[in-house]
A = this chain, B = another copy of it.
Amino acid sequence: MEELKAYIRNIPDFPKPGIQFKDVTTLFQDKEGFKKALDALEARFKNEGFDAVAGIESRGFILGAALADRLGLGIVLVRKKGKLPGETLSQTYALEYGTDELQVHVGAIQKGQKILLVDDLLATGGTFEAAAKLVEASQGTVGALLCIIELTGLPGRELLKNYRVESLITYDEG
């Protein structure tokens, strides 16, 4: 879906100097772009027997929620620590400096459910790996990891080699 690059904006030096940030909000807010992305994802994942979508906070909620609706599924929220009100499972993961923590509600994913995990970006893969561990801790199965943008110059796909990884748009920078 290289044509979707026309809807992505490059923001230099965000969130810090030297980073070329790929801004997907310009895709989300464009009705043609948003529809093209969802049409492509619906075609790719329909009739594959997924039981639920899980969206990773918070840009993963956007395509994740609309895709869940297209597929006739619900959407489970994978959130940063402290945001979910009920009892949670937690998974820490490494950042460049320090660690962060993702959580999912106990019971949100049921035993044996095949889950489609959605986030906006695949870079180092640490966030997806943590979210996948939460699915597995919930006794669900990670059917696929779906990102909008994959930075192929970074080792995310290698870290996630035991999973099916799907991306909508690739950039070869890192």
| Chain A residues proximal to chain B, CB less than 8 Å | 9, 11, 14-15, 21, 23, 25, 28-31, 33-35, 38, 52, 55, 57-58, 61-66, 68-70, 72-77, 84-86, 105, 108
Cβ A23 vs Cβ B86 within 8 A: yes
Chain A contact surface mostly: mixed
Report which residue of A57, A63, A84, A86 has the largest number of chain B beta carbons within 10 angstroms of its beta carbon: A86
Cβ A29 vs Cβ B58 within 8 A: no
Contact of A65 among B11, B31, B66, B74 (CB under 8 A): B66
Cβ B52 vs Cβ A31 within 8 A: yes
Knowing A15-B85, A61-B58 are in contact, say whether A28-B66 is a contact too (CB < 8 A). no
